[in-house]
Amino acid sequence: MSTSAAPSVLFVCVHNAGRSQMGSAFLTRLGGDRVQVRSAGSAPADAVNPAVVEAMREVGIDISAETPKVLTMEAVQSSDVVITMGCGDACPYFPGKRYLDWKLDDPAGQGVAAVRPIRDEIERRIRRLLAELGIEAAA
């Protein structure tokens, strides 16, 4: 685990514009200061997918100010849990880290209606992750 009391979780996808942004937003909302949250992409997009922003707004989470970030070795090394979401071999591997590969549809190029089920599945997985980490989800 990281040196702080709160576990650190890194969400990684290719563009850091959809799935990883939703994952980090849900974990931030539901885990609060009891977990450190990062997200990044192996080939970051210029902006977060607008359909993802809208789908998250529907559940009361505003990610409109978020920007895709580049994946760094330091981000992986300083994380306890690395959740990959379709980045394949572009995600670096470090022994001793807990890796979860969440196979989810890619919201790129999709409308809000197609993003909603992806969003809802990510929220379910975040709630399970919090339970596994022994952290009660915020209401």
Q: Of 30, 35, 85, 91, which is the active-site residue?
A: 91
Query: Is 87 a residue of the active site?
Result: yes
Is 67 one of the annotated active-site residues of the chain?
A: no
Select which of 13, 25, 71, 118 is catalytic.
13
Distances in whole angstroms, Cα of residue 71 to Cα of each of 97, 100, 109, 111, 132: 16, 16, 22, 26, 25
Distance CA 1, CA 15 (A): 27
Rg (CA), the chain: 14
- Which member of 87, 104, 122, 137 is catalytic? 87
Query: Is 90 labeled as catalytic in the residue annotation?
Result: no
CB atoms within 10 A of CB 103: 7
Catalytic residues: 13, 87, 91
